[in-house]
Amino acid sequence: MAQQQLELLNQSAALWLEAADKTDSAGRLRLNDKNRQYVSLIGQHNRKNAEIVNALREQAKTLLNDDSAETIRTKRNEVRKLVEKLQQEANDLQKQMEGFEFSRSEGDCPPRGLV
């Protein structure tokens, strides 16, 4: 079961990074500063989620090792703390995106497909 979880987490991290790369590409389009900032936040959020998944992947790896129960417990606690920190950072980025204000003038609205 841990091996299946590990494979799914690998796929998930790859998808988050692919989304971040696509967002980076969108950020290179001719966008105004506000839209560029918004797209940048999306990319940062996607990368942060990839970091979270990678941390969870490390947790799954511990179950495949021959370490003692105490070592596994210690590693899991370390990962849990890291994931909590990363999740808070992702939440902060999400709040920044949600609080991002666009005026209704043309060219100052969020890019289509990125909201």
pLDDT at residue number 53: 95
Residues of the domain holding 85: 2-98
Convert the pLDDT of each residue in 35-82 to its tens digit.
Answer: 889 999 999 999 999 999 999 998 888 878 888 889 989 999 999 999
Structure token digits, residue 48: 């942060």
Convert the pLDDT of each residue in 13-33 to its tens digit.
Answer: 999 999 999 998 888 888 888
Q: Does the residue 109 lie in any domain?
A: no
pLDDT at residue number 112: 55
Q: Does the residue 34 lie in any domain?
A: yes
Contact yes or no for 20/43 (Cβ under 8 A): yes
Q: Does the residue 32 lie in any domain?
A: yes
Q: Does the residue 115 lie in any domain?
A: no
Q: Does the residue 10 lie in any domain?
A: yes
Give this prediction's pTM: 0.79
Between CA 77 and CA 71 the distance in angstroms is 10
In the chain, how many domains are there? 1
